[in-house]
Structures are given as structure tokens and as C-alpha cells.
Amino acid sequence: METLTLRLHLQAAFGSPLLGDMLFGQLCWALRNRHGDAALQERLEGYTDGRPFAVVADAMPIGWLPRPAVPLSLFAELAEVDRKQIKKRHWLPVAALAQPLAEWLALCRSDAEVLADAEAPKGTAARAQDRPTALSTLHPQPHNSINRLTGTTGRGDFAPYTQMQRWYAEGADLCVRLLYDPARISAAMLTELVEDIGTVGFGRDASIGLGKFAVAPLVEPWPVQADANACLTLAPCAPQGLGCDAARSFYEVFTRFGRHGDQAVQQGNPFKAPVLLARTGALLTPPTVPAAPIIGQGLGGRGQLSKVIPETVQQGYAPCVAVHLPEEFAA
């Protein structure tokens, strides 16, 4: 597997978070729409047998990784730092991989600090009171459904309603890290497909202008720590049955209630079977660190996720960063 990193220049609000498994789903639709169903089926061959053609990470700030989901007690204690402030330190700088894991919390930064660091090289640092404090914020967007018989809104299906939109801070360029099998897809084709997603729009309400972004290549080495024996995940994944050491694996679980996208929403039942995943930032200790920086498994196929499209798959793989977890670290 080879690696590819792309910079995303965000151009609109988003209806859905830029998570790796959701990006992979839309990547598959982009491949089908541009190159046909046969091209997609060819690349999905062996997907649930440990042979993914591509694995997509969450979009995250350039130069940063998610803080691992380990208990705070495993980090070195920070003196005179409020616990609420510690919880806001979501982001670990890639450069922190040169330090032992116990020191990472002191190096982690909040959304506000990450945005301030991004502004500094551009010479656009804002006044303290004008600086955004979050990478993204949710705002309600009113919608109206017009009854064409009366020409107005009304009750029931025609009642006004609101939906939340995610607005990213101005200038908050993100990056997406991908791994791909060069025998089945090229970096140029992969970049083209991500560009298609940005042009059409990603996620919910793309048809009314949400989810737009531009793409540019970003050259960076894949992050790794010396003497690695564990994996820090960069996307939601399905580690079930992989033999990870339960006492030395740390993660938060959630249930993905997936829905079909693109043309499949018109095929009667857009809902997929729910799947249990570990959130981004899981620290997993498999029997051996994988040679390619991927952990997890492909889910679905044979009607397991969808009766409408039986061949539907779900990205249960995640790109990962190989890190060193000291032997004394255990739950």
C-alpha cells in the first residue's frame, strides 16, 4: 500500500462530519459515476477479505493527529492546568511522535491553539477577541417546505423546520490521508475522485450547496514512532476479532447508523444495518504491528448491510500511525 495526503480548502458549510468511513462511501460513488459500475466492482474484489483498494482517514488539521483515547492517568500529570482545559486538547502535533507517549498530553493543543498556529505562518493573526475558539461550530439553518396548492408553509410535512450545519473556522484548511493499492488505483485517479466529491458536495444536503471543497496535493511523510508496538487510528474502525490485547487497547465505541447515498436513496430503503465501530483516536495493540499502516476489517457484502444493494460494504479499516506503548501501560 502507498500513501497519499491531500489538502482540502473548504468552500461551504457541511451537513455531515468529514469522517473517513463516510468519505470512503462517497469515494465509491464517485468511482462508479466516473468510471462505471464494473470499475467499482473490480476494485472492491476482496475488500472484506483484507484487500482494500483504498482506505481513507478523517479530515483533520494539517500537521496534527487525534489525541489517543487513553485515560488521563496514563499521561504525565500537568501542574496548574484546569481539567476542563485539558479535555479541550484534542490535537497531537506530528512532531510529538519524537517524545514518549506519557509526554504527549503536555504537547496536545486545543482547537483554538491549532487555529492560532495555522494563522501565524500566513501573517494573518487576528486579535485575541476575534480568534475562533473551535475548529467547527454548529448553527441551525431554517428550512421551509411550500405547499404548492396553497403557496405557503403549513402543518405536518409543510411545517418550517431547522437542520444543523457545520461551519469550519475561516482559513481552517484540513488534510485527508489515504492509503491505496497502486496495482488497482493510481494516486492521480484517487485525487480526481476526491476532487469530484468536493465539486458535487460531501454528505447531507450536498444538493443544496453544502459540503464543497477544493483539493491540492500535500507532500508529507507518513508519521511513525520508533519501536512501535501499537496503532493510533485516524478514522473509525472495526477492530473486533483482530486479537488486540484488551488490557493494552483503548477506544470509545459508537454505532454507525448508515444510509445509502447518491442514486441509492431512490431505491426504496436508504437505511443500512447498524455497525459497531471504534472512534477515531483508538489506541490498539494487535499481536503484531501491520506492515502497511492499516488496521481493521472490511464490513458487509452478501446482504449483511443492505437488502437493497446486497454488495454494499462499509469501511471498517482505518489508516493508523504506529506508536510505542510502554509495557507498563495497561487498563
At residue 158, the pLDDT reads 80
Please state, in angstroms and rounded to a whole number, the distance separating the CA atoms of residues 204 and 63.
Answer: 27
Which of 229, 235, 250, 225 is CA-nearest to residue 297? Answer: 235
Count CB atoms within 10 A of the CB of residue 11.
Answer: 13
- The answer to whether residues 258 and 274 touch, using CB atoms and an 8 Å cutoff, is yes
139 occurs within a structural domain: no
269 occurs within a structural domain: yes
96 occurs within a structural domain: yes
Q: How confident is the model over 106-122, as a mean pLDDT?
A: 85
- Of residues 245 and 157, the one with the higher pLDDT is 245
Which are the contacts of 250, defined by CB distance < 8 A and separation ≥ 6?
68, 69, 70, 71, 282, 283, 331
- The answer to whether residues 286 and 26 touch, using CB atoms and an 8 Å cutoff, is no
175 occurs within a structural domain: yes
Please state, in angstroms and rounded to a whole number, the distance separating the CA atoms of residues 259 and 274.
Answer: 9
At residue 126, the pLDDT reads 56
Which of 15, 66, 30, 39 is CA-nearest to residue 318? Answer: 66
Amino acid at 236: P
Q: How confident is the model over 191-208, as a mean pLDDT?
A: 96
At residue 80, the pLDDT reads 79
Which of 241, 274, 272 is CA-nearest to residue 255? Answer: 274
Which of 196, 163, 135 is CA-nearest to residue 15? Answer: 163
- The answer to whether residues 302 and 278 touch, using CB atoms and an 8 Å cutoff, is no
At residue 203, the pLDDT reads 94
pTM of the model: 0.93
Cα Rg for the chain, rounded, in angstroms? 21
Mean pLDDT across the chain, nearest whole number?
Answer: 93
Count CB atoms within 10 A of the CB of residue 94.
Answer: 16
Tens-digit pLDDT profile for residues 119-146: 765 655 555 666 788 999 999 999 888 8
Residues in the chain: 331
Which of 68, 138, 96 is CA-nearest to residue 225? Answer: 96
At residue 144, the pLDDT reads 86
Number of structural domains the chain divides into: 1
17 occurs within a structural domain: yes
Which of 61, 63, 65, 62 is CA-nearest to residue 92? Answer: 65
Q: How confident is the model over 59-67, as a mean pLDDT?
A: 97
Q: How confident is the model over 215-222, as a mean pLDDT?
A: 95
Q: Which domain holds residue 251?
A: 2-134+165-323
331 occurs within a structural domain: no
Is residue 90 very low, low, confident or very high in pLDDT (cuts 50, 70, 90)? very high
Report the SS3 class of residue 90: coil
Helix axes 37-44, 20-35, angle to 10 degrees: 140
Q: How confident is the model over 178-205, as a mean pLDDT?
A: 97
157 occurs within a structural domain: no
Report the SS3 class of residue 65: strand
Tens-digit pLDDT profile for residues 290-311: 999 999 999 999 899 998 999 9
Which are the contacts of 268, defined by CB distance < 8 A and separation ≥ 6?
308
Tens-digit pLDDT profile for residues 245-265: 999 999 999 999 999 988 888
At residue 21, the pLDDT reads 98
192 occurs within a structural domain: yes
Q: How confident is the model over 57-84, as a mean pLDDT?
A: 92
